[in-house]
C-alpha cells in the first residue's frame, strides 16, 4: 500500500496515500488498536455531530473575520459533502481512546482539512490552504468541541429510541383496548391476591412506559446545554468574544435545532458530566423496568400445561433441539439480555463521573459511547418486543376465568363483608386443603353472593 509522510509533534508518520485522515489519526490507530472492535466511525451520529460543530465554527470564524470568507465557505462545503454520506472508514480511531477525545477531534479536523484542500484543487496531506489545527480547529479545543458533540450525538440517537418507546406504549394500549375487560388475577409476593381486569394490569404497563419516556425526554433535553465556546476549560481569553457570542447560535442554525444554549458557567460544564450521567441513569431505570415487564411476560406465558399460561405469546422459533413442540419466550429473553448490558453500561458511566478530576472530565467520551450503545440496544430490543411479542399476544380467557375463581379473591371479599377475624377463624380449620376450605366457606357464609358477581 502506498503511503505519504506527514509530521506532527513527535516526528514523521506514514499515512496511507489516499487517506483523508492524517498523522494524529494514524498515531491513534497504532496506539489504540481496534481489532474487530468499534471505532468512532461506527457511531455515525457522533461523527455527524463533530462535523456539524466544525461547520458552525467555520461559519462563525468567517463572520468575525478570523477566516477568509472563501475558506469558511469551503470548510462548510466540505462538512456538507461528508454529511451526505459519512465515510466510516475515514474515522478509524478506537472508540475508547485516551486523551479526552483529542484523537477523535483531530481525526475530524484532518478529514475536513483534506476534503477542503481537494475542493480547491489540492491533495490530501498537503495542508497548504487548510491546516487541521490552524483553520479547522480555530478558536476551539477538544475540551469544548468534543463534549458538545457528545451531547449532540445522544440527542440524535434519542429520536429512534423515543419512537420505539412510543410504539411499545401504543401496542400495550392496544392490548388494553382489545382485551381489557377480561378477568385477571392480581398477585402479590407471587401469591394469589385479588381479582381485577386485564386492562388494569396492562394499563399500568402503558402508564409506566410513558413515564419512562417522559423521564428520558427531560434528561436528554438538558443536553442542549453545551460548553461550546469554553475552549480549554472555560476561560474567556482563549477565543474572541465575538466567537463565543455567536458560536452556539450558529450551531443551532446548522443543526436546525434552536434548543441549543451555552452553559451559564463554562468552567462547571468542563469539569462535570452529571447531565450525561442523568441520561444514563434514566436508561438504567428503563432497562430495569423492561426486565420486570419482560420477566412478567415469561411467567404469564409459562406452560403450556404446568405453568401460569395466562398469556399466549407469539411463537417465533422452535425452542429446543431435542424436545419437539417446545417454544420458548425468546423475545422477552432478548429484551432482558439487552437490559442487562445497559445496566453494565450505566456502571461505566457512573465511574466516569466519579473520576472527573479537577478542571476537565476526560471520561465524558467513554460515558457517551456507553449511552449511545445503550440507546442502540434498547431501540432494537423494544422494536422486537413490540413487533414480535406484544402486538401478537392474546390472553388465555379460559385459564384467566379459572384463576380468578381461586380462594384469595373470595376470602378478601368475605373479609370486607364479615370482618377479617371471622373469616380467618374459618381458614384455620382447613389451612392446607382448598377444597375443604371452600366447603367450610359455603357453610359458614351461605348468603355470600356468587364468586364472580363482583365482576358481572
CATH number of domain containing 103: 1.10.275.10
Known active-site residue 2: no
CATH number, domain with residue 360: 1.20.200.10
**Of 329, 274, 273, whose CA–CA distance to 299 is shortest?**
329
Amino acid 454: pLDDT:
44
Does residue 6 lie in a domain region? no
Any domain includes 12: no
pTM summary value: 0.94
Residues 150, 49 share a domain: no
Q: Is 227 helix (H, G, I), strand (E, B) or coil?
A: coil
State the pairing for strand pair 183-188/3-8.
Answer: unpaired
The answer to whether residues 116 and 218 belong to one domain is: no
pLDDT computed for residue 456 by the predictor: 41
The string of pLDDT tens digits covering residues 70-126 is 999 999 999 999 999 999 999 999 999 988 899 999 999 999 999 999 999 999 999
One domain for residues 88 and 191: no
* Listed residues 99, 114, 138: the one ending a domain: 138
Residues 221, 72 within the same domain: no
Residue 333 domain flag: yes
Indicate if 54 and 173 belong to the same structural domain: no
Amino acid 75: pLDDT: 98
197 shares its domain with 344: yes
Both 68 and 193 in one domain: the answer is: no
Is 10 within the bounds of a domain? no
On whether both 129 and 209 belong to a single domain, the answer is no
- The pLDDT assigned to 452 comes to 47
Same domain, 420 and 336: no
Q: Given 2, 289, 320, 321, which residue is catalytic? A: 320
What pLDDT shows up at residue 431?
82
User: Into how many domains does the chain fold?
Assistant: 3
Instruction: Tell me which residues of the chain have a pLDDT lower than 50.
Output: 452-456
- Residues 221, 77 share a domain: no
The DSSP-derived string for 36-83 is TS-BGGG-HHHHHHHHHHHHHHHHHHHHTTSS-HHHHHHHHHHHHHHH
pLDDT at 453: 45
Choose one of 368, 399, 430: the last residue of a domain: 399
Domain residues for the domain of 121 are 19-138
> In terms of domains, do 294 and 381 share one?
yes
Q: Using one digit for the tens of pLDDT, what is the confidence trace for 113-172?
A: 999 999 999 999 999 999 999 999 999 999 999 999 999 999 999 999 999 999 999 999
Amino acid at each position: 500500500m502506498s503511503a505519504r509522510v506527514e509530521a506532527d509533534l513527535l516526528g514523521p508518520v506514514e499515512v496511507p496515500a489516499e487517506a483523508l485522515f492524517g498523522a494524529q489519526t494514524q498515531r491513534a490507530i497504532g496506539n489504540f488498536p481496534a481489532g474487530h472492535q468499534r471505532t468512532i466511525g461506527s457511531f455515525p451520529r457522533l461523527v455527524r455531530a463533530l462535523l456539524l460543530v466544525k461547520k458552525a465554527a467555520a461559519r462563525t470564524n468567517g463572520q468575525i473575520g478570523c477566516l477568509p470568507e472563501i475558506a469558511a465557505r469551503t470548510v462548510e462545503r466540505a462538512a456538507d459533502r461528508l454529511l451526505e454520506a459519512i465515510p466510516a472508514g475515514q474515522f478509524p480511531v478506537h472508540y475508547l481512546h485516551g486523551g479526552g477525545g483529542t484523537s477523535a477531534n483531530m481525526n475530524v479536523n484532518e478529514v475536513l482539512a483534506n476534503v477542503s484542500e481537494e475542493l480547491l484543487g489540492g491533495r490530501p496531506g498537503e495542508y497548504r490552504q487548510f491546516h487541521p489545527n490552524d483553520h479547522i480547529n480555530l478558536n476551539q479545543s477538544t475540551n469544548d468541541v468534543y463534549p458538545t458533540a457528545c451531547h449532540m450525538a445522544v440527542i440524535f440517537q434519542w429520536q429512534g429510541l423515543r419512537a420505539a418507546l412510543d410504539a411499545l406504549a401504543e401496542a400495550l394500549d392496544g392490548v388494553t383496548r382489545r382485551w381489557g375487560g377480561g378477568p385477571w388475577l392480581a398477585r402479590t409476593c407471587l401469591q394469589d391476591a385479588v381479582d381485577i381486569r386485564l386492562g388494569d394490569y396492562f394499563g399500568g404497563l402503558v402508564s409506566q412506559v410513558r413515564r419512562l419516556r417522559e423521564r428520558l425526554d427531560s434528561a436528554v433535553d438538558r443536553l442542549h446545554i453545551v460548553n461550546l465556546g469554553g475552549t480549554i476549560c472555560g476561560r474567556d481569553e482563549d477565543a474572541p468574544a465575538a466567537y463565543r457570542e455567536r458560536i452556539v447560535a450558529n450551531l443551532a442554525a446548522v443543526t436546525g435545532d434552536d434548543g441549543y444554549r451555552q452553559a451559564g458557567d463554562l468552567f462547571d460544564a468542563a469539569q462535570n458530566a452529571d447531565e450525561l450521567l442523568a441520561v444514563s441513569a434514566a436508561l438504567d431505570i428503563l432497562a430495569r423496568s423492561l426486565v420486570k415487564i419482560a420477566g412478567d411476560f415469561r411467567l404469564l406465558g409459562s406452560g403450556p400445561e404446568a405453568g401460569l399460561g395466562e398469556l399466549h405469546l407469539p411463537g417465533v422459533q422452535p425452542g429446543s433441539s431435542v424436545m419437539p413442540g417446545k417454544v420458548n419466550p425468546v423475545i422477552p429473553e432478548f429484551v432482558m439480555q439487552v437490559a442487562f448490558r445497559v445496566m453494565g453500561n450505566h456502571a461505566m458511566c457512573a465511574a466516569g463521573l466519579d473520576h472527573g478530576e479537577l478542571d476537565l472530565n476526560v471520561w465524558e467520551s467513554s460515558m457517551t459511547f456507553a449511552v449511545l450503545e445503550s440507546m442502540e440496544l434498547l431501540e432494537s430490543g423494544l422494536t422486537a418486543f413490540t413487533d414480535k411479542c406484544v402486538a401478537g399476544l392474546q390472553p388465555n380467557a379460559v385459564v384467566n376465568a379459572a384463576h380468578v375463581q381461586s380462594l384469595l379473591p373470595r376470602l378478601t371479599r368475605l373479609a370486607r363483608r364479615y370482618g377479617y377475624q371471622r373469616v380467618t377463624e374459618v381458614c384455620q380449620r382447613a389451612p392446607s386443603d382448598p377444597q375443604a376450605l371452600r366447603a367450610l366457606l359455603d357453610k359458614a357464609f351461605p348468603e355470600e353472593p356468587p364468586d364472580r358477581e363482583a365482576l358481572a
